[in-house]
Amino acid sequence: MPQPRPDNQAHNTARPVLLPAPRTLSPRDAPSLGWGVMGPGGIAASFVEALRRHTEQRVVAVGSRDPQRARAFADRFGIPGAHGSYADVLDDDRVDIVYVASPHSAHVDHALQAIEAGRHVLVEKAFTRNAREAEQLVRAAREQGVFLMEAMWTRFLPHIDVVRQVLETGLLGEIRTVTADHGQFMTPDATHRLFAPELAGGALLDLGIYPVSFASMVLGPFASVTAVGTKAFTGVDGQASIVVSNEAGAHGVLNTSLFARTPTTASISGTHARLEIEGDFYAPATVRLISHEGELLDSHVPARREGGLCFEAAEAARCVRAGRLESDLMPLAETLRIMHVLDGIRRDLGVSYPGE
């Protein structure tokens, strides 16, 4: 039987190799599942395109409350099933797993419907509006015995596996500081979902979750979280600066914003060396190992930069076929922990969503 192909790029052999090669397997080697899409928006389009180009996954159904929208999405991507309701997606016998790509405010309802229908579920980040809703989904999935995972796509990318291995081997020494930011300039528009309180808009759940999740992966559980921020004109969080620490005293300095395009970089500094991840750090990106003196010691350059959403789908497919109910790379306990952190940050900022 042929071995799975690693999705990586060889290092330059002209100098000593200090960074490990990613262990990430090729998404094309993952078992093929029939996917149903709930919510045919922009992220769903990127997801389906990544699956079409880089995997053997089959997108077999799409659902929307607007039948014409579902049909247009299905025609665009050659999807055989176009449904005018989310319930019809769940009734489609071709569907093995559901990708919930609706607005944050609808995640809990749509994912819960899928779980109760006995479908495996991949829920777009942020997982839910708050930790209470996240706990509801996790309980339901465990009771039903179905796979459930947050679609935090960054966790599954090859360059993040390089970071993970560096942390495992202690190459940086004792970790002292993590930085990460994600800011985008969004034209003020009360009709846009990121400015809509009823859709759980704001910078934090859509953009800020990336630096928070990254810091959680590096530092582990936070011992303290402090945040300051500025609200947008609709009352959602427009910008937040967050300082976290772990029990060992390492710090994370994180930022998110709807008001400006920031560098979107990340770094991990230790007592021996530091890692720098170019912008956009949450997408396939170059990782550099830097000495105390500022010397470039080694770098990992991604083999390709497009279609990164395919890696999370491949992980879900492998877990489902193996009979696993969650992923080791993005375990449900980690998702719940991060949702509690986000709740605390919003409390610091004085931001809540209607109906919470």
Residues known to be catalytic? 125
What stretch of H or E contains 113? helix 107-116
pLDDT attached to residue 2: 41
E-strand ranges in the chain read 34-38, 58-63, 81-83, 97-100, 120-124, 148-151, 175-183, 224-231, 237-245, 251-257, 266-270, 274-277, 287-290, 296-300
Kindly write down the DSSP assignment for every residue of 58-77, as one continuous string. EEEEEE-SSHHHHHHHHHHH
DSSP bridge partners of 240: 229, 256
**Whole-angstrom Cα distance, residue 259 to residue 238?**
7
Spatial contact of 320 and 30, defined as CB atoms under 8 Å apart? no
User: What Å distances lie between residue 155 and 152, 276, 281, 328, CA to CA?
Assistant: 6, 17, 11, 10
Mean pLDDT of all residues in the chain? Answer: 95
**pLDDT, mean of residues 316-344:** 98
- 335-356 average pLDDT score: 96
Mean pLDDT of 207-230: 98
* Per-residue pLDDT tens over the stretch 310-319: 999 999 999 9
pLDDT above 80 for 247: yes
pLDDT digits (tens, 9 = 90+) for 11-54: 344 445 589 999 999 999 999 999 999 999 999 999 999 999 99
Domains of the chain plus CATH, in order, are 27-153 (3.40.50.720), 158-304 (3.30.360.10)
User: What pLDDT is attached to residue 11?
Assistant: 39
Distance, in Å, from the CA atom of 106 to the CA atom of 128, rounded to the nearest integer, reads 8
For residue 270, give the DSSP letter.
E
Confidence bin at 7 (pLDDT 50/70/90): low
